[in-house]
Copies of this chain bind each other. A is one copy, B any other.
Amino acid sequence: MPPLPAMPPLPLEPVNIGAAAKASGVSAKMIRHYESIGLVPSPGRTEAGYRTYAADDLHRLRFVKRARTLGFSIKQIEALLALWSDRRRSSAKVKALTEKHIADLEARIAEMLAMKQTLQHLAHQCHGDARPDCPIIAELAR
């Protein structure tokens, strides 16, 4: 499956938060959260106080969702949203932000690969039977 799966068409009419969640892939809980931290603007409200999301809002939520799926942090998404709505943006800025994120990912991947290597090495040396001798424990207790 592709990392950024296609989604069903957005509703044209303003919808409540539940439908917005379904349409965007962002949980209602997180939609409210994103609003509270200012990542997405406060949507309209019905007379009863229900949030109503127009096509624009849903579009933005989807953008956020896709960026999260690619592992961008909220702060980075803030920047990406600003660049998105800036018609005079330079693609260089977007690319730089993305490459920073790629570098972060690579660092974390390398760290975890190193852990994995060590662990596999240790696990390989471990009999894994009923006896207590265990190079894994021995290494931790070294």
Interfacial residues, chain A to chain B (CB-CB below 8 A): 3-4, 59, 63, 66-67, 69-71, 80, 83-84, 86-92, 94-96, 98-99, 101-102, 105-106, 108-109, 112-120, 122-123, 126-134, 136-137, 139-142
Bound: A131/B86 CA distance, A: 12
**Nearest CB of chain B from residue A124's CB, rounded to whole Å:** 10
Bound: A123/B72 CA distance, A: 14
| Complex contact B91–A140 (CB within 8 A) | no
| Complex contact A4–B137 (CB within 8 A) | no
| Complex contact A129–B98 (CB within 8 A) | no
Interchain residue pairs with CB less than 8 A apart (5) = A66-B140, A83-B134, A90-B132, A91-B127, A91-B131
